[in-house]
Amino acid sequence: MIRVLGIETSCDETAASVVALHGGAAPEILSNIVLSQIEEHAAFGGVVPEIAARAHVEALDGIVEAALADSHLALDEIDAIAATAGPGLVGGLIVGLMTAKAIAAAAGKPLIAINHLEGHALTARLTDGLDFPYLLLLVSGGHTQIVAVRGVGDYQRWATTIDDALGEAFDKTAKMLGLPYPGGPNVEKAAASGDASRFAFPRPMKGSAQPDFSFSGLKTAVRKAATAIAPLSDQDVADICASFQAAVADALGDRVSRALARFRQEFPRTARPALVVAGGVAANRTVKATLEALCSQAGFAFVAPPQKLCTDNAAMIAWAGVERLRAGIIDENGADFVPRSRWPLDSVSAPLVGSGRRGAKA
Ligand code: KG4
Ligand code: ZN
């Protein structure tokens, strides 16, 4: 039996969770508390790092207490403390990791420093019991990546964005059009009554042999179109949103279908290959429908963990801790770990020039 307390503070959610694994049974989320700071940042149209760090300091103790109380476990019944140590906003990372170190030291438990991206990468094993290897598409406010997940601690990044993250492109588009923060859900809402064929926006990287993503050209095209017809009516905004979403889905589909083909080549013996989506943008129905159709054509299972576990949460961090404990891959010196604002999941792939975490959640 393994029971881990997880802590997540890398961006604008203060979260704590306890996850348990009993022998061969399915893992259990004993508690999962997420406090979103959206209201604190909304007036600024994006996440303000200093406000985020302060809000984590104020909330984290209570959130950890609540997660323990919900799990009906005492601290000494927990096997380890897992905390997000990067990548993310460094102020928040310091709050979460220092708190975790203090709890671990006081309780005499190991501290496991978790890469936030590993949390996203392993969630499908918590929710769907997926076997390795599988393909992960992570589309959030800070990341747009395709990762081959080969085992615990064994990840290979196949594609990343050379400029904006996809969620960031949604957020910036919303801002340009005067839609409220966070932009993604509002763009989707406006798009529902729009004409997706009114604007022929570019599909960046479509057909390119380089496997990566790019969204800044699309964002610029949206700005130009909006400026050209300003002032915008509600219908104009809806049409731009629908056309933007169609371009996103098309560009994303092109990149993902390349990756599915590569997966088939590299892992030919995988009986039931799967594509997992994670990150806030995975909530978008147009994006989801596109990916679902692609997967069914290519003979891949399409796995979308419940939204609550797809966006930032601490259950994924606790679970990554469970996986690491089970596999015996924990850093003996976890208590000395220093937060890393940048921390690629895959240390093998060279960083792309101009790439990395950007935008509201970077
Ligand atoms: O995974 P997430 O909650 O946080 C991190 O970035 O780590 O992702 C938030 C991002 C934001 O950029 C938000 O605008 C976008 O996900 N998002 C959406 C939708 N819901 C959230 N984008 C498009 N359509 C949505 N329905
Ligand atoms: Zn995330």
Please, which residues bridge with residue 113 across strands?
Answer: 83
Residue 181, pLDDT score: 84
- Going from the first residue of the chain to its last (362 residues), give the mean pLDDT of each consecutive group of 10, the final group possibly shorter: 97 95 94 91 83 92 98 98 96 97 96 96 97 97 94 96 96 95 94 98 96 96 98 98 98 98 97 94 96 98 95 96 94 84 79 48 41
Name the closest-CA residue to atom 21, ligand 1: 280
Name the closest-CA residue to atom 14, ligand 1: 184
- Residue 149 phi/psi, 5-degree rounding, is -95, 105
87: nearest Cα among 306, 351, 304: 351
The rounded distance, in Å, linking the Cα atoms of 174 and 178 is: 6
Residue 1, pLDDT score: 94
Name the closest-CA residue to atom 8, ligand 1: 280
Name the closest-CA residue to atom 23, ligand 1: 184
Mapped onto helix, strand or coil, the DSSP state of residue 323 is helix
Cβ < 6 A, ligand 1 pocket: 11, 140-142, 167, 170-171, 182-185, 188, 279-281, 283-284, 311-312, 361
The rounded distance, in Å, linking the Cα atoms of 247 and 234 is: 20
Residue 67, pLDDT score: 98
CA 234 – ligand 2 centroid, Å: 32
CA 312 – ligand 2 centroid, Å: 5
Residue 362, pLDDT score: 37
Residue 44, pLDDT score: 82
Q: Which ligand is nearest to the CA of 167?
A: 1
Distances in Å between the Cα of 355 and the Cα atoms of 139, 163, 196, 216, 310 are 15, 6, 29, 12, 23
Query: Which DSSP string do the residues of 84-127 spell out, in sequence order?
Result: EEESS-HHHHHHHHHHHHHHHHHHT--EEEEEHHHHHHHHHHHH
Q: Which of 10, 120, 139, 140 to mutate to test the pocket of ligand 1 (most atoms within 8 A of CB)?
A: 140
- Residue 265 phi/psi, 5-degree rounding, is -70, -45
342: nearest Cα among 355, 357, 327: 357
- Residue 2 phi/psi, 5-degree rounding, is -125, 130
